[in-house]
Amino acid sequence: MKKRIFTMIGLLFILLFSCTYAGAIDLTQDNYVKVTENMTSAIYLNTKSPTVTRYSPPFYIIKGEMIIDDFSSDKIAVYNSNYFYNYEQQEIAINDIDVIIYYKDGSSETIPIPADYPLNPVRTQPKYSVGATIGAMYFYLCYGIDFYKN
């Protein structure tokens, strides 16, 4: 009987005191879709995050998240970004609003990125880049049509 009690108490302590950075953001949930991965990182989008902030065809803006799970530094970075669309020209551009970094010890920090920060311009994305892929997926989630015509 004593052995069972000590085992249960031990398991309880393990559950209470084991914390990882993944506790703050669980990338195994259905709303996180893996876009790409390599040896050191994986990039996801959050299907519940897109918000339309401009609807003025052929111009659109959608705010959404890009999540980078960096295995080399044991951090998860969540970039809140604006995705700018020109449907006639078939262009997607991005600029970041802020980044939330989740650390392995369970802590996190939010780093705001001012709109006029010179290292944060609106960047046009090549058609097959990760940023354009995420942007096209957010466009589809919001409007139900493919962004790229071909």
- pLDDT level of residue 88 (50, 70, 90 thresholds): very high
Count how many residues are written for the chain: 150
| d(C-alpha 72, C-alpha 1), whole Å | 44
Q: Do the Cβ atoms of 64 and 49 come closer than 8 Å?
A: yes
Lowest model confidence (mean pLDDT) among 15-24, 58-67, 69-78, 118-127 = 15-24
pTM (two decimals):
0.79
pLDDT-derived band at 49 (thresholds 50, 70, 90) equals very high
Which position has the higher pLDDT, 11 or 47? 47
By the 8 A CB rule, do 53 and 79 touch?
A: no
Query: How far is the C-alpha of 150 from the C-alpha of 137, rounded, in Å?
Result: 15
Residue with tokens 């902030």: 53
Residue 109 to residues 6, 67, 102, 115, Cα–Cα distance (Å): 37, 15, 7, 19
Furthest-apart CA pair in the chain: how many Å?
A: 73
Contact 113, 59 (CB under 8 A): no
Task: Look at the block and give the residue holding tokens 């369970």.
Answer: 106
